[in-house]
């Protein structure tokens, strides 16, 4: 699955804004098929925004470098 970099959140917001404007125009022009397609794309964009925001909230865990096991003896 493709993960969106959290740095792309502003771009996703731009895309969402543009889609909302395109949907309004499609409603005004009564382009029913276009509205359905835009709604699907909006759902996808909003899901990606939520995924990217969730990724941005995660903290990094440093596990260190593996080393040799201590010997018992």
Q: Which residue did the predictor score with more confidence, 5 or 20?
A: 20
Position 28 in a domain:
yes
Residue 32 in any domain: the answer is yes
Position 10 in a domain: yes
Separation CA 71–CA 64 (nearest Å):
20
Q: How far is CA 52 from CA 9, 18, 19, 72, in A?
A: 7, 19, 19, 46
Query: What is the mean pLDDT of the segment spanning 7-14?
Result: 92
- Range 28-48 average pLDDT: 95
How many distinct structural domains can be found in the chain? 1
Residue 31 lies in a domain: yes
User: Residue 12: pLDDT band by 50, 70, 90 thresholds?
Assistant: very high
Which of the four pLDDT bands, split at 50, 70 and 90, describes residue 62?
confident
Give yes or no for residue 36 having a pLDDT over 90.
yes
Torsion angle of the four alpha carbons 35, 38, 43, 46, in this order, in degrees rounded to the nearest 10: -130
Range of the domain at 47: 6-57
Query: In angstroms, how far is the first alpha carbon of the chain from the final one?
Result: 47
In a domain, 47, yes or no: yes
Grade residue 64 by pLDDT with cuts at 50, 70 and 90: confident
Please report whether residue 53 resides in a domain.
yes
Does residue 64 fall inside a structural domain? no
* Contact indicator for 41, 19 with CB cutoff of 8 Å: yes
């Amino acid at each position: 699955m493709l993960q969106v970099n959290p740095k792309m959140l502003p771009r996703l917001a731009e895309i969402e804004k543009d889609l909302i404007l395109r949907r309004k125009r499609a409603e005004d022009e009564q382009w029913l098929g276009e509205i359905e397609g835009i709604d699907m794309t909006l759902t996808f964009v909003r899901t990606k925004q939520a995924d990217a925001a969730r990724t941005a909230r995660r903290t990094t865990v440093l596990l260190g470098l593996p080393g040799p096991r201590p010997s018992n003896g």
